[in-house]
Amino acid sequence: MAAKARHHYLFVAYPLQSHINPTHNLAKQLASSTGAAVTFSTAVSAHRRMVSSVPNADQEFNNGRITYLPFSDGNDEGFKPDSMDFKDFLSDFQKNGQRNVSTIVGDLAAAGRPVTCIVYSLLLNWVVDVAEEHGIPSVLYWIQPATVFAIYYHYFHGFESIVRAHADEPSFTVSFPELQPLQIRDLPSFLNVPVNDTDSFNAPIHNSFKELFKILDRGQEDKVKPRVLVNTFEAWETEALASVTEIDIIPVGQWPKESNTSYLFKEDEKKYMEWLDTKEEGSVVYVSFGSLSVMKKEQKEEMVRGLKESKRPFLWVVRKDNREEGEGVIEIEEGEDGMVVEWCDQVRVLAHSAVGCFVTHCGWNSTLESLVCGVPMVGVPQWSDQCTNAKLVESLWGCGVRCEVDGDGVLQGEELVRCLELVMGEGEKGVEIRNKAQVWRDKALEAVAEGGSSDVNLKAFVDKFL
């Protein structure tokens, strides 16, 4: 333990909830299981919200296990989609982030706390340059499933032309090595960006992934496999982990913690947990589309219709920033059994015995949290990796269904009712889905237990590679 304690890991996370949660969970697990020193760094805009109750929130803060040290990306109030161009924002983020994270590394060394490894997540390719500048090893933490990593890898290594050629054919099937056949509609949305696209959002992210895999390719020049930590469990994605032989993919999935201290949104004051306590086991429909996905007014109206017609109690998260101007809180009519909140502790909700189904956008954090809690899913994917995750839920793991949407991408109320009945009803299919959800939950429990695959892999990473 004394030797391990000399290691000092700097975790750098992009300032989004979906990036911070998994990176923070891994940082906490590494600190507690290996005795290493851990510093967690994200942009000032997110850091302030993470430690909002701490005086001088822009400064370094230690909670007894992890040190929190923010960096400025040049936009300390965060990205403002209504007034900022995302391409320009990302360029400023890289320039300022690279300079200021480098300063952090230098200051830590000068203070007698030298960093021995930097762990970075997506959209932060420049962190590799910071690590090389200081002669420190770095490792990517892939915060999406291994299947999505494999898809991106193969796309940039021989499959780009076939995907682009059939980009307008949603049902066209692509067969990547070792993976189940996937239709174009199942692939990450950032792969289908036209070559000449100047879109201010999709194109920069596509280019960031392209650059990331070039960086990983460079790592093979010394005939040493690049290492990538992945937020998944070995038993969940055995084939995907074997799909890329040129990179050492290390599954280190963690059990999400209740009462997550890294939330960037204020938890609703409504007593939703007490409300859940009054409901029968497996009876409640939980609905949340995550921290970024936007639900159109028409979609909210159809969701209301479907939830009413399902006649099942529901807990629905509608973020304050996902309301059109003048739109108030969705009201629950007298006699209806439901609750609408602005934000909640999702892991606590999913772990509650009353929750019987999760209607989700299938972001990987939400999908993983539902899987580890044994809750079946109704998937309503929108973009990024969500369509792939929904495919995994329905076809690989068999613990949920993907809703069909209309031509405008809206989930109609009757389709929601159909999917809820399929997942929560007493039919043979519903029983099968719920049983499989428990199977994958048990496999995750085995992985994170002492001596399980995630536990062993994380400790081996510390012992072998550093």
> What CA–CA distances, in Å, run from 161 to 157, 191, 192, 215?
10, 11, 11, 21
CB contact set of 99 (below 8 Å; sequence gap of 6+) = none
Per-residue buried b or exposed e for 183-220, using 16+ beta carbons within 10 Å of the residue's own CB: ebbbbbbbbbbeeeeeeeebbbbbebbeebbeebeebe
Q: Which residue has the tokens 């403002």?
A: 80
Taking each helix axis as running N to C, give the angle between helix 126-133 and helix 86-110, from 0 to 180 degrees, rounded to the nearest 10.
20
Q: Determine phi and psi for 342, rounding to 5 degrees.
A: -80, -30
* Amino acid identity, position 15: P
Q: What are phi and psi of 38, to 5 degrees?
A: -130, 130
- Does residue 19 have an active-site annotation? yes
d(Cα 395, Cα 377) in Å, to the nearest integer?
12
CA angle 40, 22, 442 (to 5 degrees): 140
Is the separation of the CB atoms in 443 and 233 below 8 Å? yes
Q: How far apart are CA 158 and CA 165, in angstroms?
A: 13
CA distances from 392 to 39, 456, 460 (A): 34, 25, 28
Contact (CB, 8 A) for 170 and 183: yes
Instruction: Compute the distance between CA of residue 150 and CA of residue 237 in angstroms, rounded to an integer.
Output: 11
Report DSSP letters for 296-319, one per residue.
-HHHHHHHHHHHHHHT--EEEE--
Closest CA to 371 of 272, 199, 232: 232
Distance, CA of 113 to CA of 60 (rounded, Å): 14
Among residues 7, 8, 19, 352, which one is catalytic?
A: 19
Residue 400: CB atoms within 10 A of its CB come to 29
Q: State phi, psi for 298 to the nearest 5 degrees.
A: -60, -40
Closest CA to 256 of 361, 362, 352, 371: 371
Closest CA to 71 of 28, 104, 107: 104
- Coil vs helix vs strand at 201: coil
Q: Which residues are catalytic?
A: 19
